[in-house]
Structure 1
Amino acid sequence: MGELSVVEICAGAGGQALGLELAGFNHRLAIELDENAAATLRHNRPDWEVRVGDVADPEVWNPDEFSEDLSLVAGGVPCPPFSIAGKQLGTSDERDLFAWAVELAGRMEPRAVLLENVRGLSMPRFAAYRQHVKDRLASFGYWSDWKLLEARDYGVPQLRPRFILVALRLEDAQYFHWPQPTPYIGTVGSALRDMMKSGGWAGADTWAESANGIAPTIVGGSKKHGGADLGPTRARRAWAALGVNGIGVADEPPSAEAPLGFQPKLTTEMIARIQGWGADVEYAWTFTGLKTSRARQIGNAFPPPVARAVGSAIAAALRHEGLPARREPSEADVTHDPLYVALRSASGPLTTAEIAERIGEAVSELEFARRLEALRQDFELLVGGTGEQATFQLGAFRGFVGQDDHLRHGAFETARSRIS
């Protein structure tokens, strides 16, 4: 079926890019906001076209110029709008580009879409948001599915759960199957033993034997974060249990002068190994910039082996390999938010009783209020009447999908220097 092509948005320093390349995709374009991450991309793939800037800025690129016979639109759009560690502002966060990326797919009409984000997007808070995304993709003629994948299940010595969205045209979707797990066999110690020994530290082997677990999720943080380290207090405790000092990042591996019981810090090269880079020659990658920038680039990335696994599954579907399974654009593998579905399908306002009848379940007053509040954060909700006569009607989606007058523009420019 010819060359498989990809346009990658919010490309970062190249984790997803490398994985997709190894899966057989050729990059037409990669776009990244952070200049340091873009410099890393250019350093490793000087023949790629890499553009720097806000991916939603028409002065940075014109999607129509890259849409002809496009196989895949992919991206790791910003995570903070959905992160459990943040405020989970969703559509109110100026960094939210998930819904915009879905609209981009409708404009560019690729054969497939791949978007990854943090586990927080899978939580009940964003049930209506997910349902909206699935509905929009169905309206564009795509079958879609979400799945929570952990990096350790795909050859990476790290937990790192990521919530993945895959969408394909119907003729290709029937051949898509999520990749089978290939769990990492080993520990943090076995992954980093050679690197810990490279400076002559006599305690490296003993350390490697005691670092006998899988790493917690590597944290990249944002530009608002301070210097390079391995994350907040909980993450540092998990690293300490593996014999690693998570406060800061080392410039070099432990030297021959380091005592046997020394608790080492990780170098950026070690952090990259934990993210799936460099263990094999095909995953070789060089990070440019100062230490803090390198640590941030690595920590914010999609592990290349995971991207490769999902990319290979998409590539196989686009080549119509394997046994087909019937797919429909409106097929709901999971109904993410019954309340949203009930209100979306109504031609007018609904009472609480009418909503309960539509969703087919009795909902307590407290639970109903919780669901309404979650819905209200990402959609306009028109409320009429009071008490048992109160009515509810779903209004417009609040998120940024490309509107020229959206509040996102001003908020983004104000916060731009702190966004990564």
Structure 2
Amino acid sequence: MAELSAVEICAGAGGQSLGLELAGFEHALAVELDKNAADTLRANRDWDVQQGDVADEGIWNPKKYVGIDLLAGGVPCPPFSIAGKQLGATDERDLFAWAVELAGKMQPRALLLENVRGLSMPRFSAYRQHVKDRLRDLGYWSDWQLLHASDYGVPQLRPRFVLVAMRHEDAQWFEWPEKAPYEGTVGSALQSLMAVNGWRGAKAWAKKANDIAPTIVGGSKKHGGADLGPTRAKAAWRELGVDPMGVADAPPSASDPVDFMPKLTTEMVSRIQGWGPEPEYEWTFTGRKTTRYRQIGNAFPPPVARAVGTSIANALNHKGEAKALADVENEVMHDHLYLALKDARTALTERELVKLSGERMDSLAFERRMAMLARDFVIDEEEQLGGRAYRLVAFKGFIGQEGHERHVRFAEMRSRIS
């Protein structure tokens, strides 16, 4: 296979980085905001790693990487997280739409962006439509898929919403990776680590931990120390025989009771995320325990990144059998009401918009949808003889504007953004 180059933004501690490397991509650059995660990248690979705000061209110059094979990134999740406020385009951490515009500047052969499942929800249907339409305008085919880590050899559910875009001449060769489900359990994945200090209860514990893990939650600097997630996730961990209230400094020892309920160590958490035990998945994390946990918990599991990266590499190398372009053209419409607004040349009334969208909705449903759209888009309203009329004015999100309010909010929140 031809050697392929990649620029990775919001690289984190290297989950996606390692997976892409194993898929055949050589990093020309990795950019990461968090110093600890950047230090972890440098500790593992001799790459060009730049630490700072990825949207600051004083940190790196996108023009130096025009024509790169792959632009990839795990842009911040909180704007779309179900556990958060789902502020979307008005969240100072939102970089998804900006990354799409970055692809327009850098003209990579392919784009890979991953995020949380929340981005796949109805709340963000118009946001997704905006992204897809913009990529089409830039000359890219694109597709979204919700992937579960457990379907790609990882002992954890971890759903991630993944966007892949590429030029039509390469998209003919693209196929989403075939599933290779994890065949073990949390117990089989962690038994050796639980027993390393002589704990006599490791075997019995592993037998009880007889399912895959719930999603590891890395959290953010806005919240407290390391634990294993919200209430429902904690309950699932207890069912597996794991104390979810924090992360241990070391595995259980020979002096611990056989029926002891252990906490996970950061090494165990990294195993659940897909690092190790195979030598090719070995990785070192720098910093203190809570810092290491956040790096691990916020990562894209390396085996999943490897599977998607291999599919992209195969397409870029025209490996396999090309499909007819019509078979890869993705005409999925995520939000018909948004499209009706977007395509209108003048302000339209509720009745006109509902008719154009082809959707069935009463006035209450229409008002709710418009309120949802107004969270990510500027919509003007005016009174006409036929009733109130609506016009789509602009996207609220940050796409690189020098004067965007994102910069002020980002500067104010800098110490708590992760």
Describe how 1:57-68 pairs up with structure 2 within 5 A. Answer: 57-67=56-66
Equivalenced residues, count: 418
Question: What code does the residue aligned with 1:400 have?
Answer: F
In the alignment, what sits opposite 1:33?
33
Aligned pairs (5 A) from 1:63-82: 63-67=62-66, 69-82=67-80
Unaligned ranges ≥5, structure 1: none
Partner of 2:10: 10
1:205 aligned partner: 203
- Residue 176 of structure 1 is matched in structure 2 by 174
Q: Is the 8 A contact 2:92 2:406 kept in 1?
A: yes
Do the aligned residues in 2 keep the contact of 1:379 with 1:395 (CA within 8 Å)? yes
Alignment partners' CA distance in 2, 1:257 and 1:84: 41
Tell me, yes or no, if the aligned pair for 1:114 and 1:164 is still in contact at 8 Å.
yes
Q: Deviation digits for residues 246-292 of structure 1, max 9, x if unmatched?
A: 10101111000010100000000000000000121110001011000
Residues 1:109 and 1:328: Cα distance change in structure 2 (over 3 Å): farther
The 8 Å contact of residues 354 and 361 in structure 2, kept in 1 or not, is answered as yes
Distance 2:176 2:164 in 1: 9
Contact 2:171 / 2:328 at 8 angstroms: preserved in 1?
no
Q: Report if aligned partners of 1:113, 1:166 keep a CA contact under 8 Å in 2.
A: yes
Amino acid at match of 1:414: E
Q: Deviations over 1:146-194 (max 9, x none)?
A: 0000000000000100000000001001111100110000100000010
SS at match of 1:390: strand
The C-alpha deviation readout for 1:314-341, integer Å capped at 9, x for no partner, is 0000011122223469944421100011
Opposite residue 178 of structure 2, the aligned amino acid is Q
C-alpha contact 1:8 1:31 (8 A) present in aligned 2: yes
Change over 3 Å in CA distance of 1:330–1:370 after alignment to 2: farther
TM-score (norm 1): 0.97
Q: Secondary structure at the match of 1:231?
A: coil
Corresponding residue of 1:195: 193
Q: How does 1:191-340 map to 2 (within 5 A)?
A: 191-327=189-325, 331-340=329-338
- The AA in structure 1 aligned to 2:267 is E
Residue of structure 1 equivalent to 2:144:
146
Give the secondary structure class of the aligned counterpart of 1:377: coil
Shift of 1:356: 2.0
CA distance in structure 1 between the partners assigned to 2:351 and 2:365 by the alignment:
14
Is 1:21–2:10 an aligned residue pair? no
Look up the SS of the partner of 1:82 in the other structure: coil
Alignment of 1:95-106 (within 5 A): 95-106=93-104
Q: Which amino acid aligns with 2:52?
A: G
Supply the RMSD in Å over aligned alpha carbons: 1.4
The CA distance in 2 between the partners of 1:327 and 1:91, in whole Å, is 32
State the 1:386 CA deviation. 6.5
Deviation at 1:294, TM superposition (A): 0.2
Work out the CA distance in 1 between the residues paired with 2:143 and 2:370: 24
Deviation at residue 367 of structure 1 after TM alignment: 1.5
Alpha-carbon distance, 1:374 to partner: 1.0
Q: Which amino acid is the alignment partner of residue 105 of structure 1?
A: A
| Counterpart Cα distance in 1 of 2:219 and 2:147 | 21
Paired amino acid for 2:62? P
Distance in 2 (alpha carbons) for counterparts of 1:408 and 1:348: 30
Q: TM-score, normalised by structure 2?
A: 0.98
**Consecutive unaligned residues in structure 2, runs of 5 or more:** none
SS in 1 for 2:375: helix
Residue pairs, 1:57-136, within 5 angstroms: 57-67=56-66, 69-136=67-134
- C-alpha distance after superposition, 1:221-255 (max 9, x if no partner): 11122122111222111100100001010111100
SS of structure 2 residue aligned to 1:162: strand
Q: Which residue of 2 aligns with 1:358?
A: 356
Q: For residue 89 of structure 1, what is the amino acid of its counterpart?
A: L
Letter in 2 for 1:108: M
More deviation, 274-283/328-337: 328-337
- In 2, distance between residues paired with 1:22 and 1:292? 28
The equivalent position to 1:348 in structure 2, one of 346, 352, 357, is 346
TM superposition shift of 1:392? 1.0
Deviation for aligned residue 1:357: 2.0
1:146-165 matches, cutoff 5 A:
146-165=144-163
Contact 1:153 1:184 in 2 (8 A): yes
> 1:199-221: per-residue Cα shift (whole Å, max 9, x none)?
10000000000000110000101
Identity of aligned residues (%): 66
Preserved contact between residue 276 and residue 305 of structure 1 (Cα < 8 Å): yes
For the residue of structure 2 that corresponds to 1:396, the secondary structure is strand
After superposing the two structures, state which structure 1 stretch, 362-371 or 289-298, moved more.
362-371
Residues 261, 388 of structure 1: alpha-carbon distance in 2 compared, 3 angstrom cutoff: farther
